[in-house]
């Protein structure tokens, strides 16, 4: 029997406790998880191991998650990678959903996270989102 391909998820979160929680939830579900603490590290990780999905905190240092996502959408090589945004601040939800696949409010519940990941991966083959105009 063939083994299904491993799904690589890049989780970008500046809080080390939340980053570890994401790693635990996702790896327990069988996903390969790569972690990054900011958009700069995430960009390097994406070059080394292109992800199948990105989970992206909105409130990152240096370059926030929404701006980083807009940059990704402008790059044809990664524009089709689904993005799930996470934040404790619900005021970002509308903009985040326009840029990404989903928005999850912190604190993150495991069932909600895994359902969002499954939904995002099932939509991966759909046409890429358009980069928003500012």
Residue 15 belongs to some domain of the structure? yes
Q: Which two tokens stand for residue 134?
A: 């500012």
Domain count, the chain: 1
Residue 124 belongs to some domain of the structure? no
Residue 109 belongs to some domain of the structure? yes
Residue 23 belongs to some domain of the structure? yes
Find out whether the peptide bond into 107 is cis, omega within 30 degrees of 0.
yes
Angle at 44 between CA 29 and CA 90, to 5 degrees: 60
- Give SS3 for 64: coil
Give the pLDDT band of residue 100 (cuts 50, 70, 90): confident
Which residues share a beta bridge with 83? 54
Residue 126 belongs to some domain of the structure? no
Q: Which two tokens stand for residue 30?
A: 């069988």
Which residues share a beta bridge with 49? none
Query: In this structure, what CATH number is given to the domain that contains residue 24?
Result: 3.40.50.2300
The per-residue pLDDT for range 20-59, each reduced to its tens digit, is 999 999 999 999 999 999 999 999 999 899 999 999 999 9
By residue range, what is the domain housing residue 54?
8-115
Residue 122 belongs to some domain of the structure? no
């Amino acid at each position: 029997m063939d083994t299904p391909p491993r799904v690589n998820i890049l989780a970008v979160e500046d809080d080390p406790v939340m980053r570890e929680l994401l790693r635990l939830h996702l790896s327990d579900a069988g996903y390969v998880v790569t972690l990054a603490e900011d958009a700069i590290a995430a960009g390097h990780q994406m070059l080394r191991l292109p992800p199948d999905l990105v989970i992206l905190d909105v409130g990152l240092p240096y370059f926030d998650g929404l701006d980083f996502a807009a940059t990704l959408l402008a790059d044809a090589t990664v524009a089709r990678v689904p993005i799930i945004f996470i934040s404790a601040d619900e005021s970002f939800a509308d903009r985040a959903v326009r840029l990404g696949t989903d928005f999850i409010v912190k604190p993150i519940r495991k069932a909600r996270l895994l359902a969002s990941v499954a939904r995002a991966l099932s939509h991966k083959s759909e046409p890429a989102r358009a980069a928003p105009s500012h």
